Amino acid sequence: MEENYETNGYDISVIYDYKEYPDVKFGLCDNCDYALFKSSVEWLRECRRCGMKKSI
């Protein structure tokens, strides 16, 4: 299943620091504007759609 959505061109292999890159739109992924995240550890959130990671 191919998902069609636009991204803002962030490198999803990089873990961004929330202090340096706060949310552009509060509670949404900066890369694809999705609102659902998963957390494997409590200080890291990952977008469920595009996979962008941010340490919080």
Q: Take residue 54 and report the two structure tokens written for it.
A: 């941010």
With a pLDDT cut of 70, the percent of the chain lying above it is 96
Distances (CA, A) of 35 to 5, 31, 46, 48: 14, 11, 11, 8
The pLDDT tens digits for 39-55 are 878 899 999 999 999 99
Domain boundaries, the chain: 15-55
Q: What is the pTM of this model?
A: 0.86
Q: Which residue has the tokens 């998902």?
A: 3
